[in-house]
Structure 1
Amino acid sequence: MDETTAPTRFASYVAVGDSFTEGMCDELLPDGHYRGWADRLAAALAAEDGGSGFGYANLAVRGKLIGQICDEQLAAAAGMGAELVTLAGGLNDVLRPGCDIAEVEARLAAAAERLLATGATVVLFTSTDPSRRMAGSARLMPAIRRLKAFVEGFVAAHPGAVVVDLFSAGCFDDRRLWAEDRLHLSPEGHRRVAEAVLQALGRPAAFDWRAALPPAPPAGRWRRVRSDLRWLRIHVGPWLVRRLTGRSSGDGRPAKRAELLPYEG
């Protein structure tokens, strides 16, 4: 964007996706929902016009695959006619063995094209790179890299689409940007993603979201072992049970903001 060109102001915003966009593991709000980067983004956009009448809906639900996102959220999002839509999905598919990455790409493209057809600016994301922070993630990298290239190619070919590149941001190698389950962002991680989206939309930088955190005190070997055992027991075990029984953490869960309503912070 030309430095002399003012960034587009938005009067309404709809968030579509899974737990990443729902805001899992950010701070809890009084109503029991997580805050999340999308809420933080909505707050910043609402503040640009004094918050008067800025509309915000968040249709994202944890655990959803890209097909479920398209089937359960897309029609509602397109029907709201929002000026800005964020669309994130596909990583839950990649985490499952036997993922059909071509099908993920096709569903993601169809969703983005439908949203662009409404006249909205559509923001897509590349996944963070888990290879340096999460053991066992090497098997996921071919699909993650392919999905990254797909998203970048889609955005290059579609005016009105914007990409937020999280993959190249080395700060996400730091476990302090992640919650205890190692799959969802910590509050600091959510704060940085919100800022990344704002900058991708042409807003001036409030801070360097890519910057490394100050060095952390070294963790002793046994502390790391205890942390890994706790992670396996509390998070990996239940996740495997859900996979084996065909259940999802989002089953029966409604969206936290199912209607496009004025954002009140």
Structure 2
Amino acid sequence: MRALIVLSLILTTGLLAACARGVPGDARVVVAGDSVMAWNRGQGGSVADGLRARLGEPVGDVSFPGAQVAGGGGPLNIPRQLDGVATQWVVVNGGANDLGRNCNCSDCGAVLDRLISDDGARGAIPALVTELRGRGARVIWADYYTSPRFAGTTCERPYRVLETRLRRMAAADPGVTLVDMDDVFRPDDLTLFAADRTHPSVKGSQRIADLVAAQIGR
């Protein structure tokens, strides 16, 4: 996926995103990650909301704006979001805030390596996925779309590298699926994006839900 989403945690957004977070006791699907997953939750239009409608069942949502894979604390750390969660499916994304806060667009090698090694076997992302698989979950990792704010810039390159490494990770385990949001997003279709031209609109969030639900329904 060719994408860049530099996500910032805004206090008001974070407080709104905290509403309706949680995991129902009978949920077999849980959504985790950063603001791409959490966006539109206050309007009932987040990715988890879309999955709930499509699957016709409870869906947990522990995602939080500004969350990182290898940094942050509490809900701002994606592995911590999933502490104690044991469910059939985990839908998760992450890495944009790690990249956005710790490197510029031309010097991201060390941050990428910390997230996931070139062979897809080591780093914070594979460690999280291995932990989830050990709890019996099937994992759907959602790779970022290309946002209109950054499309065509040099900032896309780190996300291409991230995608390549994620694909290698997923290829090594049949219980891990990589879905590419670029399959259902176009950066020139502004109806898919919020006013900041970075986060998804409600329509965009529902596109992501469609992409994920197709995997769960198989």
Same fold (TM > 0.5) = yes
Q: Which runs of 5+ in 1 are unaligned?
A: 1-9, 204-265
Per-residue deviation, residues 77-133 of structure 1 (Å, max 9, x unmatched): 252211110111001222335241111221111111111111111010221124xx3
SS of structure 1 residue aligned to 2:42 = coil
Could you tell me whether the CA contact under 8 Å between 1:152 and 1:163 is conserved in 2?
yes
Query: Alpha-carbon deviation of 1:175?
Result: 1.4
Query: Alpha-carbon deviation of 1:69?
Result: 6.5
Q: State the aligned residue count.
A: 179
Alignment of 1:102 with 2:117, yes or no, is: no
Query: Alpha-carbon deviation of 1:171?
Result: 3.0
What corresponds to 2:34 in structure 1? 18
Could you tell me whether the CA contact under 8 Å between 2:48 and 2:60 is conserved in 1?
no
Could you tell me whether the CA contact under 8 Å between 1:27 and 1:36 is conserved in 2?
yes
What corresponds to 1:61 in structure 2? 64
What corresponds to 2:91 in structure 1? 86
Query: Alpha-carbon deviation of 1:137?
Result: 5.8
Query: Alpha-carbon deviation of 1:135?
Result: 4.9
SS of structure 2 residue aligned to 1:142 = helix
Identity of aligned residues (%): 26
What corresponds to 1:176 in structure 2? 191
Do the aligned partners of residues 172 and 200 (structure 1) sit closer, same or farther apart at CA in structure 2, a change above 3 Å counting? farther
The aligned amino acid for 1:176 is: T
Query: Alpha-carbon deviation of 1:193?
Result: 0.6
The aligned amino acid for 2:49 is: D
TM-score by length of 1: 0.60
TM-score by length of 2: 0.72
Query: Alpha-carbon deviation of 1:166?
Result: 1.6
Do the aligned partners of residues 57 and 27 (structure 1) sit closer, same or farther apart at CA in structure 2, a change above 3 Å counting? closer
Matches within 5 A, 1:143-222: 143-169=158-184, 171-203=186-218
What corresponds to 1:241 in structure 2? none
The aligned amino acid for 2:68 is: L
The aligned amino acid for 2:190 is: R
Could you tell me whether the CA contact under 8 Å between 1:163 and 1:200 is conserved in 2?
no
SS of structure 2 residue aligned to 1:191 = helix
Distance of 1:27 and 1:101 partners within structure 2: 29
The aligned amino acid for 1:59 is: V
Could you tell me whether the CA contact under 8 Å between 1:41 and 1:195 is conserved in 2?
yes
Per-residue deviation, residues 139-160 of structure 1 (Å, max 9, x unmatched): 3222100111111111111121
What corresponds to 1:28 in structure 2? 42
Could you tell me whether the CA contact under 8 Å between 2:32 and 2:81 is conserved in 1?
no
Alignment of 1:74 with 2:84, yes or no, is: no
Q: Which runs of 5+ in 2 are unaligned?
A: 1-25, 117-122
Alignment of 1:123 with 2:128, yes or no, is: no
